[in-house]
Structure 1
Amino acid sequence: MTYLRPDFRHPDAPTNDLGYTSKDYEGALSTLCAGCGHDSISAALIQACFEMSIEPHQVAKISGIGCSSKTPTYFLGNSHGFNSVHGRMPSVTTGANLANRDLKYVGVSGDGDSASIGLGQFAHVVRRNLNMLYIVENNGCYGLTKGQMSATTDIDSVNKSGMVNEHQPIDLVNLALELGATFVARSFSGDKEQLVPLMKAAMSHRGFAFIDVVSPCVTFNNNAGSKKSYDFVREHNEATSALDFVPMKDEITTTYEQGSSQEVTLHDGSVIHLTKAIKGFDPCDRRAAIKAIKDHNERGEILTGLLYVDTDPTDLHDMYGTSCKPLNSLKEDVLCPGNATLQSINESFR
Structure 2
Amino acid sequence: MTSMPKPFIDKHLPKNRLGLSVRNYEGVMSTLCAGCGHDSVTAALVQAFWELDLAPESAAKVSGIGCSSKTTAYFMGQSHGINCVHGRMPSVATGANAVNGKLHYIGISGDGDSLSIGFGQFAHAIRRNLNMLYVLENNGVYGLTKGQFSASADYGSKSKKGVPNEQTPIDPCVQALTLGAGFVARAFSGDKSQLVPLIKAGLMHKGFALIDVISPCVTFNDHAGSTKSYAHTYKYYHPLVHTDFVAHAEEITGEYADDGAMRVTMHDGGELRLRKTDSDYDPRDRAQAIETLMLGGSDGEIRTGLLYLNEDMADMHAANRLPEAPLNTLPYDQLNPGAGALAALQKRYR
Name the counterpart of 2:277. Answer: 240
TM-score (norm 1): 0.85
Name the counterpart of 1:251. Answer: none
AA aligned opposite 2:171: D
Change (3 A) 1:33 1:349: closer
Matches within 5 A, 1:323-334: 323-334=323-334
Q: Secondary structure at the match of 1:136?
A: strand
CA separation in 2, counterparts of 1:27 and 1:92? 22
AA aligned opposite 1:48: A
Q: Secondary structure at the match of 2:184?
A: strand
CA separation in 2, counterparts of 1:324 and 1:102? 9
Name the counterpart of 2:35. Answer: 35
Name the counterpart of 2:137. Answer: 137
TM-score (norm 2): 0.85
Shift of 1:281: 1.8
Change (3 A) 1:331 1:222: farther
Name the counterpart of 1:209. Answer: 209
Name the counterpart of 2:223. Answer: 223
Name the counterpart of 1:159. Answer: 159
Shift of 1:318: 1.3
Q: Secondary structure at the match of 1:108?
A: strand
Name the counterpart of 2:125. Answer: 125
Change (3 A) 1:349 1:32: closer
CA separation in 2, counterparts of 1:86 and 1:222? 27
Q: Secondary structure at the match of 2:87?
A: coil
Q: How many residues were matched structurally? A: 313
Change (3 A) 1:171 1:346: closer
Q: Secondary structure at the match of 1:18?
A: coil
CA separation in 1, counterparts of 2:199 and 2:183? 11
Write the deviation string for residues 111-130 of structure 1: whole angstroms up to 9, x where unpaired.
Answer: 10011111111111111110
Shift of 1:338: 3.8
1:15 and 2:52 correspond: no
Shift of 1:12: 2.3
1:199 and 2:168 correspond: no
Shift of 1:339: 4.5
CA contact (8 A) 2:228 2:272 kept: no
AA aligned opposite 1:41: V
Percent sequence identity over matched residues? 56
CA separation in 1, counterparts of 2:87 and 2:190? 26
CA contact (8 A) 2:189 2:214 kept: yes
Shift of 1:162: 2.2
CA contact (8 A) 1:222 1:228 kept: no
Shift of 1:341: 3.8
AA aligned opposite 2:105: Y
Write the deviation string for residues 39-76 of structure 1: whole angstroms up to 9, x where unpaired.
Answer: 00000000000000111111111101010110101111
CA separation in 1, counterparts of 2:147 and 2:190? 21
Name the counterpart of 1:77. Answer: 77
1:320 and 2:320 correspond: yes
Gapped regions of structure 1 (runs ≥ 5): 242-275
CA contact (8 A) 1:215 1:228 kept: no
CA contact (8 A) 1:141 1:221 kept: no
Name the counterpart of 1:247. Answer: none
Change (3 A) 1:84 1:4: closer
Bigger Cα displacement from structure 2, 220-229 vs 44-53: 220-229
